[in-house]
Each structure stands twice: as C-alpha cells, then as structure tokens.
Amino acid sequence: MLRYPLGERVSVVSDRRVVVTFGTVYLLGVMALYRFSAIGTRPFAHYLLFSGYAAFIAYQVAGDGSHETVVPQIALLGFLTYWSSQFAFPSGAYSPDVPNGFLPAIRTILDVGHITPGLIYAQTPGHMLLVAQTVRLTGLSPEVAYYLTATIALTTVVFLLPLLFRLLPDIDRRITLYATLLFATTSFILGRGLRPNKLNFFYPLIVLLAIAAFATVFQRDRRRWLFLTAIVAFALASGHTFSSGAAMMLLATITVFSVLDRCSPFDRFDRFSPFNHPIPRSQPSDSDDRDQYSLTSRLRRRLTMPLRDRYEDLRPLDYHTSVRLPIPVFALTVGIALGYSLLYDTALIGRLVSIAMSITGTGTATGSGGAGRYSQLPLAILVFNTANQAVLFALTAIGAIVVFRYRSWSYDLMLAWVAVGAATLAMGILLNATDIPPQRIYSLLTLFGLNALAAVALDQFDRRLPPDTGRYVVVGTVYLFAALALSSSVAGFALSPTGDQIPHFRRYDTISHTTGTEWVDQYGQDALTMSVPQTTVPIRRLTTRTGVVDRGRIVPGQTYVYSRLAAQSGIELGGDARLGGAAFVFAAPPPDRSVDDHVYAGGGFDVYQRRDTGRETDLDRGTDQRSKANGTNGSTSGRAAIGANERLSSTRIDVPGRHTERLVVGRHQAAFSTARTSR
C-alpha cells in the first residue's frame, strides 16, 4: 500500500515509508526507554531521540514537505514528549496548584454534581467542569483525566497554528511549519507540557480567537466567525481570568494595527502586492499527486477531501481586496468577558483597574521582587539552562531584521505584536507583576510572534546559503535547539541534568513519598514538619544557597521532621510571590542529629525527637548506637532509640499480611510496620 510505481525514485521527504518508520521508532523508543529506566529519571537516549526526530521533521520542512505529512509528526513529537513526565513519575507530574486546588475541586464536583460556594475558582470553573465530564465519560481517575486532557489541549495547538498562519498573507508554508515545530519544542512550552496545568486548556482557545480575527479581516463570510468568537470568548471568560485578558490584549493589538494600517499613507495595493513578498513562496509539493491510482492514495483523498475543502476556505482573499477591520471580534470578546466578570464577580475588572492605576502611578507598585534565587546560581548553570531561549532570541532577531526590510501586513503585525508583548512584559516586571505575570506574557509571545520570526530566519538559512548547505544548517540548528530545550530546567527541574542545583518547587509524586507524607500527617500533628518548600522546622542559613536545620532552636522533647527533598530542591525561607521574590536555600539535616531519637525513616522523610543532651546517659548513647545497627535508617522498619528514662508502652495490632507496632514515646506517637508475607 505504501509502494510507489516501479522505477520511480522517491525523495526522503515524500516517502511515506520513511516518515512512518521514524515516527514508529520515536514512539516505541520513548515508551521502551521509560519502561526499563529508574523512576524519576530521564534516559540520555531520550535526548538523542527527541532532537533527532525534531531535526528529521525540519529536514522534511526544508524539502517542501506538505502540511498533511509534517503536522501529525510534530503533534506526535510534542504529545509523547509532554507525556514522558508521566512515564518518569507514574504517580503524577503536575503544576503545584493541581493537587492542592483543582483535583480536590474536581472531586467535589463529581460528588455533589455542581459548583459549591467556596470552591477554588468557583467563578471560573470551566476547565474543572471539562475534566469532571471527562472522568464521567471515560471512567479515568481525576488525576489521569486532568493530566491527559491538559496534554491533549496543548497538543491541539500544533494543529491550529498552521490554520492561523495560513490566513495571513505572505506567510510561506515552510515558515508556517517551522514556526509550529519551534513552538512545540521550545523549553518554555515543554515545561507547560511536562507539568500539566490549567493554562494548557486555554492556549488553543486563544489561537481560535486569533483565527476568527484574521478570518474576519480576510474572509467575506463573517457571521460564522462571530459565532465561533462568542463560544470561545465565553469559554475563556468562564475558565480563566488571565487567559481572557491575554486574548483581549492580542485582539486589541490586531484591531489597533488594522485601524492604523487603514489610515496609513501607503497605498494598500502596494502593501499587499505579491511582488513585495519578503520571501519567495514555496511551490506546492507534488508528493500528494504521486501514485494517484494506489489504494492508499484513493482512500486518503476520499477521507480528507471535506477537511481539505474547509482548509482551502481559510486561504486569504486576493491581495487587491479591501481589508476589513476585526472590530466585531474584538468588541464581542470584550463584551462577553466584561459581562461575565460583572455577573459572576470575577477578578478581571479589578485586575484591569489595578493595571491602569499602576500605569498612571496612582496604585501601589507590585513589580519584581528582585533578582531572586536564580541570581545566586553559578554562571555556567544559568547559561546552560537559558541556552535554548538564547537560540530562540537570536533567530527571532535575525528574522525581525529580514522582515523589517519589506512592507508586509502580516510581518508588520508580528513586529508590532512582539513590541507590544515585550513592553507589557517589562511593565509586569517593573510595575505590576501580580496582575501582569511576565512568564505568561512570554508564553503568549512564544505562541504567536517569536516562533514565526525565528522561522523566517531558518527559512533564510536554507534559501540564502549554498544548495544543500542551507538545509544542513537548518537541521543542525533545530537539533541543537531541541536538545538544549529538553535538557533545560525551564522544561522541568525534576528531570533536568542540572535540576538538583537549582532551588525549585516539587512538581511530582512518588509512591514512597506519598506513603511518608501520609505517615507524617497521621502521627506528626504536633511535630515541626517540612512540606518542601515550606517548613516549620527552624533553618539556619550558612551561605546564600545553603542552610542547615537549627537543632539548637528546637526544644527538648519536640519531634521534628526532615525531608530529604530539602537538600535537592530547596526550602523557602521567606520573600513573597512576586517574580524573584522568594528566597531559597538547600537545607541539610542537623550534623548532631545522632544524639536524637530516630523515630521514623521512609518516603524521603526522617523523623527525630529532640533529646535533652544535658541529661543524656551512657545507656542512651548505647541504645542509639544499637538502633542504628538494627537498621533504623531503613524505609519503614526498625525501632526508635528510646532513652532509659523514657516510659515505653507497646500495643500490637494484627493486620492481614502486616505486623504493626505502635510505640508511645512520652507524649508522641510513632508507628512502625514490617511487611510480612501471610502464610
């Protein structure tokens, strides 16, 4: 079915056998790597597979590969890479607000059947309702349903971006595919995919609104796009306040630019003249017309004809046609967003007022909290983890220089949007980081703007350099870009080679850690605890990046919990939630902890009871040494070292398959269990 006529030479770009082979190798290779690798690690071979497959896709794009062939491969590359964090952490990898906020809310919705007062994001529960419906329809657990729907939503953007760029005049097919590939593989978007979060649900909605705006500008039939706008705008307004505001900002930029372009002194005929294209447009690939009598080709044409016809409808009007203004789309989106905010008392209007007051200087400044913990990192670590973004910025600068030399509505709009986004990002850092989160503005620029200008640079490499040389330069650049993206801690601290050297929030679960947390929650109510990065255990800072548990500030008889993650991801010692406002240190256990009773060890936790060292006896020291010899540092087995002057009471509880002893040490309880096989 995949054969071509005998004697016909087929290039690698158009040979479907090669495409299917590479996709299968990546799919099975990634699954096999994580099946046989240790939990919580990323095999080195995954870096080679990821960057190699991305480079192969870039090679196809440089050879004028078609949308139908390239886009599904980018989607496969993105989805499988995003989901690899779930392979590495079977208990779940997520954004911090998912287990503590959204999952409990989704369980509540499933239990009671509606939104209850006091529920997190009760005014904007859109994506939680979607996940709850997914649980009902599929029978998946809320955790898996949330991670899966968030990953699928982010992957959907890969299919929507080519439709968006196809609406714009002057955007070449190769630039469209390069931009989609760069979006899917940049480290910032990889971080969104590897740690599923609420923003993943709203990226495709923002792209749909942009499609509606551009279709209104260049299409004759506006009614169907206004209907789509109403649905998407309501989904944004009822789902996430920031995403609704971000969509309004993007549509405002498109609308204002269109109005200014209409009033510009340049003649519109010249601005849309095909002779002013900054980049020659690629000719349609003939790969679709090969072997037109084969069964595969006939089936593919029959199945994709309706989609192909609809896709052709998205072509822009002739450049000589008067361009309309996207004011109806912008006005409808703003009206729905503000109306929903007034009706359900969301934070959108308050945030807009706060931003306006920050600009006019009448509000309280809430800008960046300073350089923060990242400024304390070694220069080599900073360079390594930001190298992918540096490559993206370099490509964007080259692309901006190229398109600035030409009059093009599409590229002028991109330059204007990048300028507006950069100014908004700077305003968030300097004036109001609370209402304008800089990292979210940056992700919006990566979605539309930076990726397209960087794609222009890649296309120029292929066109301006000698034959074949340019293609290999593009392939090498994409290979390096992808490798740096996946290895960067921006894509995920837990699996990055340098993740343990950067203080961060834990964003994954393991069975052992969950077991240890449950033990501490049950028996450590009166203990000083560590729930990394938060802690009630006193920490003494040694250097700007290191600290130690301050045992001297713990009263005798007090139980305290040390989490081994404190030495891997760090402890937050203060600051605020503003960008760079938190202060982190890597905290070590107290060096003199050996004189304390080691009550429990397991799941990454060590529980100690502070002894009064002034009354310590030789018997106490001997008991402590014997407890260490008997394996107190095991996962959950062993008895605590109990001083001779402490009163001990023991009760035995019989549980099928397990033997449990409860030890009462003074006023503190501890449970120890030794798994035994039932005979």
7 lies in some domain: no
pTM, entire model = 0.79
pLDDT of residue 563: 87
| DSSP per-residue string spanning 425-492 | HHHHHHTBTTTS-HHHHHHHHHHTTHHHHHHHHHHHHHHHSPTTHHHHHHHHHHHHHHHHHHHSGGG-
pLDDT band at 283 (very low <50, low <70, confident <90, very high): very low
Look at residue 59 and tell me whether its pLDDT is greater than 80: yes
Q: In this structure, is residue 229 part of a structural domain?
A: yes
451 and 378 inside one domain: yes
Q: Same structural domain for residues 417 and 528?
A: no
Instruction: Assess if residue 176 is contained within a domain.
Output: yes
**What is the bridge-based pairing of β-strands 583-588 and 597-602?**
unpaired
Same domain for 325 and 202? Answer: yes
| Most confident range, picked from 139-148, 212-221, 497-506, 530-539 | 139-148
pLDDT over threshold 70, residue 445 = yes
> Is the residue at 24 inside a domain?
yes
What span, in angstroms and rounded, lies between the C-alpha atoms of 626 and 608?
16
Residue 197 lies in a domain: yes
Give 284-329 pLDDT, tens digit per residue: 444 444 344 344 444 445 544 444 444 444 444 433 344 678 888 9
Task: State which of 451, 469, 501 marks the end of a domain.
Answer: 501
Structure tokens at 287: 């790969």
523 and 489 together in one domain: no
Q: Looking at the structure, do residues 489 and 525 belong to the same domain, yes or no? A: no
* Whether residue 518 sits in one domain with residue 492: no
Q: Give the model's pLDDT for residue 370.
A: 53
Q: Is residue 4 part of a domain?
A: no
Q: What is the mean pLDDT of residues 596-623?
A: 69
Angle of helix 450-464 relative to helix 438-447, nearest 10 degrees, comes to 40
Cβ atoms of 250 and 330 within 8 Å: the answer is no
Percent of the chain residues topping a pLDDT of 70:
75
DSSP string, 105-139: HHHHHHHHSSPPTT-TTTTS-HHHHHHHHHHHHH-
Instruction: Say if 1 falls within a structural domain.
Output: no
Same domain, 495 and 609: no
> Which range of residues forms the domain containing residue 306?
16-501
Q: Alpha helices, DSSP H only, in 92-240?
A: 97, 103-112, 126-138, 142-166, 173-185, 187-194, 203-218, 223-237
Per-residue confidence at 676, pLDDT binned at 50, 70, 90? very low
pLDDT of residue 647: 30
Residue that terminates a domain, selected from 443, 471, 501 = 501
Please check whether residues 388 and 520 belong to one and the same domain: no
| 597 Cβ neighbours under 8 A, 6+ residues apart | 608, 609, 611, 624, 640, 641, 642, 643, 665
Q: What is the DSSP letter of 101?
A: I
- Averaged over 346-373, what is the pLDDT? 67
Q: Give the other-Cβ count within 10 Å of 301's Cβ.
A: 13
Q: Which of residues 482, 501, 520 is at a domain's end? A: 501
Same domain, 358 and 425: yes
Domains held by the chain: number: 2
Q: Which residues is 519 bridged to in the sheet? A: none
Kindly state whether residues 26 and 143 are assigned to the same domain.
yes
Are residues 342 and 353 in contact, defined by beta-carbon separation less than 8 angstroms?
no
Mean pLDDT of 268-296: 42
Do 310 and 392 fall into the same domain?
yes
- Does residue 171 sit in the same domain as residue 314? yes
Edge to edge, the sheet with strand 605-609 lists 559-563, 605-609, 597-602
DSSP letter at 93 equals: B
In a domain, 438, yes or no: yes
**Partner residues linked to 671 by β-bridges:** 662
Measure Cα distances from 251 to 206, 224, 326, 333, 392 in Å: 9, 18, 8, 9, 24
Q: Please tell me the distance from the alpha carbon of residue 157 to that of residue 190, in angstroms, as a whole number.
A: 13
pLDDT digits (tens, 9 = 90+) for 384-406: 999 999 999 999 999 999 998 87
pLDDT at residue number 678: 34
